[in-house]
């Protein structure tokens, strides 16, 4: 038998109807991993296909969070480097004695945090 290099759902069983959300059901999805191990995951959905789709989506989201947490220090380092380079380059190429280059890193940090806050509020409203 050919060994697959993908995870796959090998069984999905209806457990019960959700008591809190009408029309939703609880399923137990049995998943075979790449290494051959088998694990069971609870999932909710309107039907079996919806429950499996939700399970896959949540697992993808967990992988994205893991990658972002690993790469977070690179983002902070890049932001720090940007805050050092902007005033440095502004001081070198400054011909009119305008010192806005010294305030630009602070404005950059404020804009970045404002954008992240707006994205978080948008994401929390869509959930």
What digits encode the pLDDT tens for the residues 103-112?
A: 777 787 888 8
- Looking at per-residue confidence, does 106 or 43 come out higher? 43
Rounded percentage of the chain residues whose pLDDT exceeds 90: 31
- Looking at per-residue confidence, does 12 or 82 come out higher? 12
SS3 99: helix
**Given this model, what pLDDT does residue 42 score?**
92
In the sheet that holds 25-32, the strands lie side by side as: 8-17, 25-32, 38-45
What digits encode the pLDDT tens for the residues 49-93?
A: 999 999 999 988 888 888 877 877 787 788 778 777 877 777 777
Quote the DSSP letter at residue 3: P
Q: Under 8 Å CB-to-CB from 102, ≥6 apart: which residues?
A: 87, 90
Nearest to 18 by CA among 49, 44, 54, 48: 44
């Amino acid at each position: 038998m050919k060994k697959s290099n993908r995870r796959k759902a090998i069984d999905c069983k209806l457990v019960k109807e959700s008591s809190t959300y009408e029309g939703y059901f609880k399923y137990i999805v049995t998943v075979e991993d790449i290494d051959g191990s088998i694990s069971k995951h609870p999932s909710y959905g309107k039907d079996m296909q919806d429950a499996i789709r939700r399970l896959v989506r949540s697992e993808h989201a967990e992988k994205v969070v893991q990658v972002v947490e690993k790469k977070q220090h690179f983002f902070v380092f890049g932001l720090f480097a940007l805050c050092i380079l902007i005033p440095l380059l502004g001081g070198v190429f400054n011909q009119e004695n305008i010192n806005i280059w010294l305030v630009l890193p602070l404005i950059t940090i404020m804009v970045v945090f404002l954008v992240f806050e707006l994205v978080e509020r948008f994401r929390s409203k869509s959930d």
